[in-house]
Amino acid sequence: MKTIFKVAEVLRYKNSEVFKNRTKSVFFTLLSVFFTLFSFAQQQDSTKVNSLDEVLVSAIRVTSKTPVSFSNMDKKEIKYRNLGQDIPVLMNYLPSVVTTSDAGNGVGYTGIRVRGSDATRVNVTINGIPYNDAESQGTFWVNMPDFASSVESLQLQRGVGTSTNGAGAFGASLNMLTDNYVRKATGEISSSAGSFNTLKNTVKFSTGLLNDHFEIAGRLSAIQTDGYIDRGSADLKSYFLQGTYVGKTTLIKALVFGGTQKTYQSWNGIDSEKLSENRRYNSAGEYTDESGVTRYYDNETDNYNQDHYQLHWNESISDKWSTNFALHYTKGKGYYENYKEDAEMSEYGLAAVGAVTTTDLVRQKWLDNDFYGTTFSAKYVADGLDVILGGGWNKYEGDHFGKVIWARYASTSELGDHYYDDFSTKTDGNIFAKANYQLTEKLSFYGDLQYRNVHYKANSAETGLVNDNFSFFNPKAGLNYAFTQKSTLYFSYARANREPNRTDYEGGNVKPEKLNDYELGWRFNSEKFQLNSNFYYMAYKDQLILTGRLDDVGNPIRANTEKSYRLGFEFDATIALTDKFTLRPNFTLSSNKNVDLAVDGEYYGTTKIAYSPQVIAGNVIVYKPIEGLYLSLLQKYVGEQFMNNIELPSAKLADYFVNDFNASYEIKPNSIFKSITITALVNNILDKKYISNGAMWDIYPYYYPQAGRNFLIGLSLKF
C-alpha cells in the first residue's frame, strides 16, 4: 500500500497551487478518504472477480433491450487500425458518422459529426466522467493523443440516447471505457511509421493481479507528424496510469492520464484559387517582413497540457444492489501563439509611439482551467425490473488572458503584461432515474427521467457580463417488443434541452435549444446475420445551427433557428458470408431542414441545414484467409452538403467516396514474445482528391483538403 499513499502525496504536491479555495480542499480531502478506504478494502477476501463493466457501464450504456440506436466497438476492432490516428478517424465507418482532419491525415485536430450534428452536440464521457469542454462544449482529441491504446471499448448512441453525465446530447453520446485489469502480467511495445514523417511509439505494461487483488498498469505514447497540409505538424505525448483493486464485492480504480500537444496551426483553410494551385497550402503564420519578403512565423502553434484524475469505487452490495461512486479532476493549461501584422496597438494595451499606431507583434492567448466533481449511480435488479438511479455534480473554472511576447513598437509595455483578462465558471448538476420493466414475456417498457441545472457566469469583452441559470427536465420513454429471440421492434421518445456555449454568447445567440427525438427501429440477430435499422425524427426548437462562419480564433459561429428538423433512416448489418468472409454495410438517408429560415432580416423559407449530407454510407469487407491474418477493405461515401444555411452554390461541398485497405498479421511464437503483430493501413488507396470540411468568409468558401494516398505500417510486440 505504500505505492498508493505515495501516489496520493504526489497528487497533493502537484496540485497544491490549484486547490487554494475551500471547495477544492474538500475535494482533495475526499480523495484522501478514498485512498484510506482503498487500503482498508485490501483486507477483504477475494473469491470472485467483479468487472467495471458490470457496475459502471450499466449506468451509461444501453443493450439491445433498450429502445435506442447505437453501435459498439471493442478493443479487438480498434487495434487493427490503431496506428496513431485519432479516435474520430477510427470511428469513421460507423453509421451516420462523418469525420474530418485539419492537417489532412487524421492526426492532430480532428472532428466528428453524427447525423449532421457537430462535435459540440456529441456528449463524450470517459468511464462516465464528462470530457466535453464545459465552455465550448467541444471535444479536443489532440489533447489525448493515442488514447485509443487505453480504450477497452466504446459505444456511440445516436440521437438523444439515455441520460448520462455532462452536457445534453443533441446528436449522439459517445462513452469510452478504459482498459480493464488483466490477471497475468503483460507488456507491449508498439511502433508505427508512415507518410508525412508520421511516427508513433507506445509502451504498455500490467503487473497482472498481485495476490489476486491488485494491479498496476500504464502506457506511454509519443506521436509526431509533419501533416499533409504544409507545416501542419504535430508533436504529441501522452501517458496513462491506473491502479485497480479487486475484492469479493469491491472494484476500485484510480486513474491518472493526460497529454501534451504542440501543433502548428492548420485551421485557416484555403480558398478556391489556392485549392487549384496548391492543395497543401497553409496561410497560418504568413507575413511580409520590412523588406517586402513573404515569410512564415515558425511558432504559429497551439500548445496545451491536460491531466485527468479519476477515482472509481464500485460495490456489489447484494445480488440485487450495486453502486458506483467517482471523483474526478482535470487540469488544463495552454495557449496558442500568432504573428499579427500591422495590429492596432490600442487593441493590445500599447500606447502609440508618436504617430505610429500599428505594429507587428506576436501574441499568446492563454486558457488556464480546472474541472472537478463527482458522479454516482446505484443499480437495482429484480425479476423483470432493472432500475438505475444516478447523477453528478461538476464545476468548471476558466481563466482567459492574453500576452504580447514581442512587438516591433512595444512602447511602454512590459514582458508578461496582459492585454485582456476574463474569468468564467460553470456549475452543472444532474440527477436521473431510468428503468427497464418487462411487462410481458415479449414486451418491455423503458423510462428515463433527468433533471439538470446549469449555472454559467462569465465576464469578457466578447461575451459581456453573463450570469445565466438554466433548469432542464428531460423525460424519455420507449417500448421494446420481441417477436422472437432473434427479432425485436422498438419505439422511443426523448426530450433534450441544451444551453448555449461561450461562442454563442459572443454572437448574441443565448436561447437554449430544445429537441424532441422519435426513434422507431428493428433489430435482427442470428448467428451469421445481424441487422439494425431505424427511422428517426428529431424536431428542434431554437436549434443552434452552424452558419459556416468562423470567429477570429477559428471557433464555429452558430445561430438560433426557430424551427428545424432531421428526418432519416439508418441501416447497418454484419453478414458472415462464409467462415472467412464478412460484410459490414451501413447507410443513412436523411432530410435535414430549417423551416421558415430568416437571416439578417431576409426570408429564405425551408432550406437544408449546413454540414448535413443527405446520404452517408460505409462498408467494411473482412477476409481472414488463415489464422492470424486479417484483411479488410473499408469504404466511405459522404454525399454533397452545404457550408451555410441559405444554399449558396459557392457553399456546396462535393460528395466523395474513399477506400482504405487494412491488413494485420499476428504470429504467436513459442518463446520470448506472446505475439508479434504486423499491421498496415493504406488510406485513400484510389488517391481521391476530396474535401471533408470547409467554412465561409461572407460568400467566399474556404476548404480543408484531405490527404491523397498515404500509408502507415506498425509492429507490436507483446510479452
Is residue 657 a contact partner of residue 557, using CB atoms and an 8 Å limit? no
User: Would you state the cell numbers that stand for residue 467, as one nine-digit string?
Assistant: 450570469
Taking the model in full, what pTM does it have?
0.90
Residue 48 has pLDDT above 50, yes or no: no
Measured distance between the N- and C-terminal CA atoms of the chain, rounded to whole angstroms = 27
Is residue 46 a contact partner of residue 348, using CB atoms and an 8 Å limit? no
CA atoms of 364 and 370, how far apart (whole Å): 20
Q: How many CB atoms lie within 10 A of CB 344?
A: 12
What is the CATH number assigned to the segment(s) 44-718? 2.40.170.20
Q: What number is the average pLDDT over the span 576-593?
A: 96
Residues 6+ apart with CB under 8 A from 617: 585, 586, 587, 588, 635, 636, 637
Q: Please state whether 508 falls in left (phi above 0), alpha (psi between -120 and 50) or beta.
A: left
Give residue 423's Cα distance to chain centre.
Answer: 25
User: Would you state the cell numbers that stand for residue 295, as one nine-digit string?
Assistant: 515569410
**Cβ-count burial of 232 within 10 angstroms (0-12 exposed, 13-18 middle, 19+ buried)?**
buried
- pLDDT of res. 376: 94
User: Residues 149-178: pLDDT tens digits?
Assistant: 999 999 999 999 888 777 778 889 999 999
Please give the angle made by the CA atoms of 139, 113 and 90, to the nearest 5 degrees: 75
Is residue 138 a contact partner of residue 119, using CB atoms and an 8 Å limit? yes
Q: What is the mean pLDDT of the chain?
A: 90
- Least confident range from 25-39, 108-122, 538-552: namely 25-39
Residues 6+ apart with CB under 8 A from 106: 85, 86, 89, 99, 683
- Spell out where 6-131 has E strands: 70-74, 97-101, 110-114, 122-126, 129-130
User: Residues 550-583: pLDDT tens digits?
Assistant: 877 778 889 999 999 999 999 999 999 999 999 9
CA atoms of 634 and 632, how far apart (whole Å): 6
Q: Which helix (H) or strand (E) holds 365?
A: strand 358-382
CA atoms of 116 and 112, how far apart (whole Å): 9
What 3-state DSSP class applies to 54?
helix
SS3 string of 405-420? EEECCCCCCCCCCEEE
Q: What number is the average pLDDT over the span 282-293?
A: 93
Encode burial over 37-58: b for 16+ CB neighbours within 10 A, e otherwise: ebeebbeeebeeebebeebbbb
Percent over 70 (pLDDT), the chain: 92
Question: Helices then strands (H, E): number in the chain?
Answer: 8, 36
Amino acid at 137: Q
- pLDDT of res. 556: 87
What 3-state DSSP class applies to 505?
helix
User: Residues 297-352: pLDDT tens digits?
Assistant: 999 999 999 999 999 999 989 989 999 999 999 999 999 999 999 999 999 999 99
Strand partners, 10: none
Strand partners, 545: 559
Question: Is the Cα dihedral 8, 14, 17, 23 positive or negative?
Answer: negative
41 — pLDDT class (breaks 50, 70, 90): very low
CA atoms of 640 and 75, how far apart (whole Å): 33
